[in-house]
Amino acid sequence: MTMTKQPLDLQAVREQLAAKQGQPVWRSLEQLANTEAFQDVMAREFPRHASEMRDPATRRNFLKLMGASLAMAGLTGCGLRQPQQKILPYVRLPEEVIPGNPLYFASAHTFQGYAQGVLVESHDGRPTKIEGNADHPASLGKSDIFMQAAILQ
């Protein structure tokens, strides 16, 4: 089964486009596809996809693209897993911890190699408020944004 390939006569296409109203050049293949010669070349070169060149925006292609985009969006949520942490209750409750009452203690917050004194309010072992320690010479009772952000770590 031999097919004789006839090349597309671009000069004839240019003459045909020059006779039309509008621009002398085409912007896309869809604009060029209105010629019979181009339709014949497309049917010979790509027999399965020749219909898509005539009508590229089909409902089937739209649904394929929407399905693929939804699948890709769904896969982005699957790749990230949170680390598993086990929460265990106290075996022996420390004497200074009373459930429901805050526990205050002094500590130090390190930032860029320097330590600043802080006062920490803690509920059930988790820090809830950090203030600067007035007795520490680095903070003098003031806190900065980095101290406050240390609660979230």
CATH assignment at residue 136:
2.20.25
CB 116 within 8 A of CB 134: no
At 11, list the tokens: 């000069």
Count of structural domains within the chain:
2
Contact 133, 139 (CB under 8 A): yes
Q: Is 66 helix (H, G, I), strand (E, B) or coil?
A: helix
Average pLDDT over residues 106-128: 86
Residues 34 and 69 in one domain: yes
Same domain, 65 and 111: no
Q: Write out the residue range of the structural domain in which residue 36 sits.
A: 10-76
Least confident span in 28-37, 62-71, 98-107: 28-37
pTM of the full predicted structure?
0.40
Dist. CA 33–CA 36, nearest whole Å: 8
Phi, psi angle pair for 58, to nearest 5°:
-95, 160
What digits encode the pLDDT tens for the residues 119-150?
899 887 788 888 888 888 877 888 888 888 88
- Give the tens place of pLDDT for each residue, 13-64: 677 666 666 555 666 665 655 667 667 777 777 777 666 655 566 778 888 9
Sequence-ordered list of residues with C-beta below 8 angstroms from that of 146, at least 6 positions apart, any chain? 109, 111
Q: In this structure, are 125 and 70 located in the same domain?
A: no
Q: Could you give the count of Cα atoms lying within 13 Å of 111 in the half-sphere of its Cβ?
A: 14
The answer to whether 120 and 151 are in contact (CB under 8 A) is: no
- Residue 98 is predicted with a pLDDT of 79
Asked whether residue 140 is assigned to any structural domain, the reply reads yes
Same domain, 71 and 108: no
